[in-house]
Amino acid sequence: MIDPDEREQAALRAALKNMAELMAEIGWTKRFADLSEAQALALTTAAVDGFQEAMMASAPQPDPEVPF
């Protein structure tokens, strides 16, 4: 992602929160290289899901009024 806008930056912060919750379970002192495959995949999933959920939540909502 090159030069993320404000909305994308907010989504990245939301993704970090998801990852931080998972790291609290795994243990903050564990090196990334020492993670199991399942733990690494869970962190990746937390990051991607958090980003996508935040982007969807902040997307402009269509006007429910039909103009005709």
Contacts of 39 (CB under 8 A, 6+ apart): 26
For position 1, what pLDDT does the model report? 79
For position 31, what pLDDT does the model report? 94
Q: Give tens-digit pLDDT for 5-53.
A: 999 999 999 999 999 999 999 999 999 999 999 999 999 999 999 999 9
Q: Residues 48, 60, 47, CA angle at the centre, nearest 5°? A: 10
pLDDT band at 3 (very low <50, low <70, confident <90, very high): very high
The yes-or-no verdict on residue 68 having pLDDT over 70 is no
